[in-house]
Each structure stands twice: as structure tokens, then as C-alpha cells.
Chains A and B, each alone.
Chain A
Amino acid sequence: MSEKKKLAKKTDAAIEAFKTERLRWVLGIAQRGPKVDEQKYKTVSSKIMRDEIERQMIVGEIKEKGPRTIKELSEATKLNSRDVLRHIIALRKTGVISEAGEREGGYLYKVASS
């Protein structure tokens, strides 16, 4: 995949991430003035931002190519497989993705509504 295409994918994921209620609400706190320690707010909000973008990259990859394993998702997104697993667990909990059988020694995940 060309560098340009990779960047476009990341940008798409970021756009999707910024559409989520979770990220918009958290970023909105900055404008309203956080009620917690500024450092804590910064640490938590940047983690949420990173997580949401990475999750959109994962969901985008599955939407584009169909059910994928953690190994495949990690290779395609260049995210560490431990982090992909963490995102899969969170996305599974919120019902965004679900299991879809196995392939080459790993479980496949699909977008739940598809």
C-alpha cells in the first residue's frame, strides 16, 4: 500500500473518531473548563483520542475487507497486536464487532451489524 493511501486511511479513521459522541464530549470538556486536575484531563483525553482513532482504523479495515483476525488487523494497521486485542475486547463489549469463526489459528471479527 502506498504511503499516500495509508495516510488517507488514517485521516478517514480520525474523521470518524471525531464524529463519535465519546471523543466530542471529552474534547468539549476543555472548552467548558475541566473540573479535574489539568494533567489528569490531558492524559485521559489524549488516551481516549488515540484509542478512538485506532478503533476506527480497525473498524474501517474490517468494513473494507470483511472479517479479520487480530494478526491481520495488526499487520494492516501497524498497531501492536496487544493493543489490537485490547480494542477488540472494548469494541466487542460495546457491540460494535462480534466473532465470526476462525482462520489460521486466530478468531475472526466482523462488524456486528453487517
Chain B
Amino acid sequence: MVEKNPSIGGRAAQLSKTFPDLDCFACTLTPRMLEVDKHRNIRLLTYSEVKDVRRDGKIFKVRVLKKPRYVDETKCTGCGVCAQHCPVEVANDFDERIGVRNAIYVPFPNAVPQVYVIDKEHCLKCDLCQNVCTNKAVNLQQQPETIEVEVGAIIVTTGYNLFDPRRYEEYGFGKYDNVITGLTLERLLTPSGPTGGHVLRLSDGRIPQKVAFIQCVGPKGRDSSNLYCSKVCCMYATKMAELLKEQVPSADITIYYPDALAKGDGFDEFYERAKNEFGVKYQKAQVKEVVEKPARNLLLHLKNLESNKNIEDEVDMVVLSTGLVPAASGDFGGILSLKTGIGNFLEAVDSKKDSVTTNVEGVFVAGVAEAPKDIAKSMEQAHAAAMKASAVLEKLEKTNALPVKSSQ
């Protein structure tokens, strides 16, 4: 398994609870992450990137670049003393840059593997971590390493990035502190997050009493050639509205959506519960512009799509429900000669009957790399891809072509 970040877990590790059952997701994910790390048949290469894939007869030769952690993986015990002493403080990307980390860090407390990494760009080379590490694990001389692995099948699970909400200039993201993305709200809601699970305004720390969610902040509303729905935003907004209501029962929350709400198993009930039990308001409307008022409140200019009237709404906080864009499927499309479709997601041979097999024999796809979908569907697809890949491996094993297994 090749992971470009210092820890496995992906985007899902950033989430607090999942819809529609509001399960604690860390409770599902953490044991699985540890299982992967300890599994005797899985070789885990973190902080590594696939540079090149060549087909050699029935198998693939994959060239992986292992970036230097500057911490010896065989010596680091993950005790964290180095980070306690590190004087450098940097905004933590894992916390959507609200939280902080040190120049020597693990991205989040239950990261797997529990091996620290030095961010050389910010490191002052002050040697304090070297001095305090009793295992002598810090090694600033570490070099990038190229590893070649031979595999019989490949599963591409490169996931997604958030659509850049700066493309909707009229919503003021990046300009106004109190216009945040859904993922930022998620980090604020997470008990292990930077504020201990307390939602507050980034401008002044005030507890928001009136919150507006703006839906469909994605390629769908901006880019006519990329007409796809991200599928998860309606439900994640509903979920966060419920969690926020639990925390601040007096909060007045409206979800402004320009388009139909996405549907799935149990989603209707979840939506009805948010509306009827939690009092979350839903309004079909197109938000035209967000303007900051002197007290850092935000004035929304919008068009009610039911009455066709232009209206205004003043709120404390705006949450942009940003859509999903493929993280690296485009690159992998190139490296592996895979077909890409709408929005540059990887195309499976048949999105209805077989959404995991690609146009290249022995290469499979799962998760959002193939198309936007929720965690449950990503996991189902991953299981299907693993089964398909193991069938390929079994065939290769019978012909003695390959004894090892791997996936991306």
C-alpha cells in the first residue's frame, strides 16, 4: 500500500461522525488502520509516491519514491517528546490550518504509522529534537529512496480534494474569516480537533447563533463542461447542522440549496429528522453574494427559487458545502493509461455493472477516484476491487508469475 501522506486514513480520518447514523468514524477507522500496519501480507509505504508503472509480461513494475521523513522508522517509537520540545509551530493542514503542529510531527494523534516526520521547509535545524530523542531516531541526513515493487494487480484509490471555493469569489472565502468550508466546520466539530469540538467564529471566537450553509459550491455551478454532482454535500451539511444544533440548541440554521437534494439509503429519514426534530431550515435558493458587515456578520443576497423573489439574510457564519474534485486520478490516468471521464474521475468499464474494473487489465479503481460517493459506498467498492484483484493474483500464483501482492 502506497500512501503519499505521512499517515494512512485519508480524508475519512478528518471526519468526526458519519451520516446517516452519526457513528463515530474514528472508532471504525482506527482499528482498520492498525490492522493494515500490522498485517503480514501488507507492506506499507507511507510518505511515498508512485512515480512510474511499467508492465512486464503479466506483472507490473512500480517505481515508488519514498520521501525522507528525517526520522528513522525502525527507531521512532512515536513517543512524541520531540514534538513537545520543537520550537517551530506551523498551521496543520490536517486541521484545515486552524490547528497547529510542530516542524516535527504526526498529522493527528492516532496516525498510522506512529512515526514522526520533519517538515524540512519549516525546520530551523536547531537540533533540539535530536538532543531529546532517547532512541536517536532523528536523522537529518536521510535521502529520498526509490523502491521498485513487482505486483500482479493495482488498485487506484487516490481519493479527492475539495473544490477550491475561491473560484466563487462572490462568497468571499479567503477574504472573510467567518466564511468557512464544510471540512473546516467538521474539524471544529471533532472532539479531538483544534478547539476540542467547540464551534466558534474564527474572527472573534464567538459561538455562532445564526448559520447559513451554501450548497453546490463545486464544479457543477461553475464549470459547464464538468456537470457532475458531488453526492455527499447535502448529507454532510445536514449532518453538521444536526451536530451543531446538539452543541448550540438555540442556533438558527438554514441550508440554502439551489438544486435537488441527493438521495440514498436512509437519507430521507435523516433529512426529515434534521428538519422536524432539530429544526434545521431548508430553503431552495441561489445565493448571489456574501458581504461582510462591520461586526464581522455576513449578509447574504439571495434569490428564493420558489417565490423568485430576491431576499437578504444576515448570519454569524457561512459554511460553504464544497464539492469534490479528483486528487490525482488525472496523474494516474497518465501513468497507467487509464481512461478518465467527466470531471477527470477515472472511468470504470461499466459504471452500473462493474464500477471497479478499468480499461487496463489488472488495474482496478475504488472510492472517489472513480466518482464522488460516500464512505459506505467507497468501502463497498474497495471490497469489490480487492476481490477482483485477488482473483487476478490467484491466477498469477497458479502460473508462478508472482508471489507478492500490493495495491495503491
- Chain A residues with CB under 8 Å of chain B are 21-23, 25-26, 29, 34-36, 40-41, 44-45, 48, 51, 69-71, 74, 81-82, 84-86, 88-90, 92-94, 99, 102, 105-107
Contacts and interface: CB of A to CB of B under 8 A. Distances in A.
Contacts of A21: 85
Contacts of B84: 94
Contacts of A25: 85, 87, 126, 128
B124 A81 contact: no
Interface string B355-375: 000000000000000000000
Contacts of A107: 198, 200, 205, 207
A33 to B, nearest CB: 11
Contacts of B200: 70, 85, 106-107
Contacts of A105: 206-207, 209
Contact of A93 (B100, B202, B206, B209): B100
Nearest to B122: A44
A26 B124 contact: yes
Contacts of A34: 124-125
A82 B198 contact: no
A74 B296 CA distance: 15
B205 A102 contact: no
A105 B200 CA distance: 10
Given A35-B125, A89-B194, A106-B206, A26 B100 contact: no
A40 B103 CA distance: 14
Contact of B88 (A23, A44, A71, A85): A44
Contacts of B128: 25
A89 B195 contact: yes
B99 interface: yes
12 contacts: A25-B126, A34-B125, A36-B125, A44-B88, A45-B124, A51-B89, A82-B203, A85-B202, A92-B196, A106-B200, A107-B198, A107-B200
A81 B204 contact: yes
Contacts of B99: 89, 93
B98 interface: yes
B177 interface: yes
A35 to B, nearest CB: 4
A21 B81 CA distance: 14
A44 to B, nearest CB: 6
A33 B345 CA distance: 50
Contacts of A51: 89
Given A105-B207, A107-B198, 10 more contacts: A22-B87, A70-B200, A74-B204, A85-B202, A89-B195, A92-B194, A93-B100, A106-B200, A106-B205, A107-B200
Contact of A36 (B85, B100, B124): B124
B207 A71 contact: no
B87 A48 contact: yes
Contacts of A44: 88, 122, 124
Contacts of B203: 81-82
A41 B196 CA distance: 32
Nearest to A87: B100
A85 to B, nearest CB: 5
A23 B207 CA distance: 33
Contacts of B198: 99, 107
Contacts of A40: 124
Contacts of A81: 203-205
Interface in B73-132: 84-85, 87-89, 98-100, 122-126, 128
Contact of A99 (B89, B124, B196): B196
B207 A85 contact: no
Contact of A41 (B124, B195, B205): B124
